[in-house]
Amino acid sequence: MKFRVERICRSDSMSAIPMEKVRFDLLASARSIEEKGHAVDVQELYLIVRIDGMEVTVYASGRVLMHPLNDKARAKELAQTLFAMMVPE
């Protein structure tokens, strides 16, 4: 999946945004991510994934917010890892 990575202004956070329209099944994705050994908190509109010492918020639209992180290359790697675990609707 193609996506862009942006630093969120004045913060130590990065955002990955899909370049194409996508929707993920959050409950199925939570199970998939947990099966890979990561802690997941399921919220109504998003997931909070704890991975590599970070809290990552994942929305059904595919937007991913990573905190704390300022490294664009690392953000890209992390987003690719998460997208590979996500389950499309």
Are the beta carbons of 17 and 63 closer than 8 angstroms? yes
Report the CATH architecture of 3-85: 2-Layer Sandwich (3.30)
Please state the pTM of the whole predicted model: 0.89
The pLDDT tens digits of the residues spanning 53-87 come to 899 999 999 999 999 998 999 999 999 999 999 99
Total residue length of the chain: 89
The per-residue pLDDT for 9 is: 79
Tokens of 6: 């942006």
Neighbours of 68 (CB within 10 A): 11
CA-based R_g, the chain, Å: 12
Tell me the pLDDT tens digit for each residue of 1-36: 899 999 887 788 999 999 999 999 999 999 999 999
Amino acid letter for position 6:
E
State the residue for tokens 């609707």.
89
